[in-house]
């Protein structure tokens, strides 16, 4: 079926480096292998791992660094339309509107007009979202979903504290914590996000640029979802109650011995989000019901992926950045 000589527009890097290594150019169009689907991409989400990959994973400890070799097309999150089916695929039909976190952990290639995806990494696009909104959901939404729903989070009746609450993962986590049964949700972010987070149902807002969370809400949380991590991660420990749980979303120094002394549990290994069409189908239902909302910080044309990465590097995102691929 696939034409071997067909090409497409994509954003590719030929060497690791700053945003300007992202080049909008003509590349070969992929063909779906057995069990895969070719998706015509309408929009592609941008996630922190895309930035780590672009710079050659220098932020990731050497022993965890994937061995990816340029030229590379980045991008794990897409929303689009099924264009072609690989052998043996029966769940999808050409024309179906789908979205997904593709091949994660691993290498997606979503900053492109077409991408192949294992059929079970996709879900039907929520009817109530357009493609740019849907492309903003998969990685951040699935992270919050897989960490909070059906996981080990001891939430019913308890208090959830989300650090980095306005970001991609954080803004889904504050909403999904409530759905997981939290009676009270505390969001920690910089001040300009207060109205946004209160609109998402946060009961208590802490502006970390004014007051450290540990001082503002001591002993408050049964569960801390920490999307920030880093060398100062341990400073949040006093905000967690004895018997509470910390779920790190990014690598951080949590001073584990001190945490044990405070009676706070931190899993030995950080959980990692995984591609799952099944989980994404559940999340799509929550989006269509209006119980969960997605927020876009900004939308950039595919050809301006470098500008979008520059925006991402400035940090302080409110929701998600998305590339518009097909107008």
Query: For residues 49 and 126, which CB has a smaller minimum distance to ligand NAP in the complex?
Result: 49
Given a contact cutoff of 8 angstroms between Cβ atoms, the answer to whether 100 and 141 are in contact is no
* 39: phi then psi, degrees, rounded to nearest 5: -110, 130
Query: For residues 24 and 256, which CB has a smaller minimum distance to ligand NAP in the complex?
Result: 256
Q: 222, exposed or middle or buried, with CB in 10 Å at 0-12, 13-18, 19+? A: buried
Distance, CA of 79 to CA of 75 (rounded, Å): 11
Interface with ligand NAP (CB under 6 A): 47-49, 139-140, 143, 163-164, 166-170, 188-190, 193, 208, 227-228, 249-250, 270-273, 315-317
- Count of all residues that appear for the chain in the document: 327
Query: For residues 85 and 166, which CB has a smaller minimum distance to ligand NAP in the complex?
Result: 166
Nearest distance, CB of residue 245 and ligand NAP, angstroms: 15
Distance, CA of 264 to CA of 246 (rounded, Å): 7
Peptide bond into 185 cis (omega under 30): no
Q: 188, exposed or middle or buried, with CB in 10 Å at 0-12, 13-18, 19+? A: buried
Phi-psi region of 3 (alpha: psi -120 to 50; beta: other; left: phi over 0): beta
Query: For residues 315 and 327, which CB has a smaller minimum distance to ligand NAP in the complex?
Result: 315
State the Cα torsion 101-106-112-117 to the nearest 10°: -60
Query: For residues 24 and 295, which CB has a smaller minimum distance to ligand NAP in the complex?
Result: 295
Nearest distance, CB of residue 121 and ligand NAP, angstroms: 15
Nearest distance, CB of residue 247 and ligand NAP, angstroms: 9
Nearest distance, CB of residue 145 and ligand NAP, angstroms: 11
Query: For residues 124 and 273, which CB has a smaller minimum distance to ligand NAP in the complex?
Result: 273
Nearest distance, CB of residue 112 and ligand NAP, angstroms: 21
Nearest distance, CB of residue 316 and ligand NAP, angstroms: 3
């Amino acid at each position: 079926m696939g034409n071997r000589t067909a090409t497409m527009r994509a954003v590719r890097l030929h060497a690791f480096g700053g945003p300007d290594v992202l080049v909008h150019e003509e590349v070969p169009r992929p063909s779906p292998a057995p069990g895969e689907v070719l998706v015509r991409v309408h929009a592609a989400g941008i996630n922190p791992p895309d930035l780590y990959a672009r710079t050659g994973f220098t932020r990731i400890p050497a022993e965890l660094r994937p061995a990816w070799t340029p030229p590379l097309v980045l991008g794990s999150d897409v929303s689009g339309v099924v264009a072609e089916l690989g052998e043996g695929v029966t769940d999808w039909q050409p024309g179906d509107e789908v979205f997904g976190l593709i091949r994660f952990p691993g290498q997606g290639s979503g900053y492109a007009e077409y991408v192949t995806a294992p059929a079970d990494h996709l879900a039907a696009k929520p009817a109530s979202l357009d493609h740019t909104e849907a492309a903003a959901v998969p990685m951040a939404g699935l992270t919050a979903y897989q960490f909070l729903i059906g996981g080990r989070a001891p939430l019913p009746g308890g208090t959830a504290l989300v650090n980095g609450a306005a970001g991609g993962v954080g803004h889904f986590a504050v909403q999904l914590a409530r759905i997981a049964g939290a009676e009270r949700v505390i969001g920690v972010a910089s001040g300009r996000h207060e109205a946004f987070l209160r609109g998402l149902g946060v009961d208590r807002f802490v502006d970390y640029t004014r007051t450290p969370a540990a001082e503002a809400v001591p002993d408050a949380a049964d569960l801390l979802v920490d999307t920030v991590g880093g060398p100062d991660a341990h400073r949040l420990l006093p905000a967690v109650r004895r018997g509470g749980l910390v779920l790190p979303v990014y690598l951080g120094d949590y001073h584990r011995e001190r945490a044990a002394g405070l009676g706070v549990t931190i899993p030995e290994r950080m959980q990692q989000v995984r591609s799952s069409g099944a989980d994404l189908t559940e999340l799509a239902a929550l989006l269509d019901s209006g119980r969960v909302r997605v927020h876009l910080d900004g939308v950039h044309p595919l050809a301006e992926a470098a500008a979008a990465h520059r925006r991402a590097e400035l940090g302080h995102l409110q929701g998600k950045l998305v590339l518009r691929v097909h107008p």
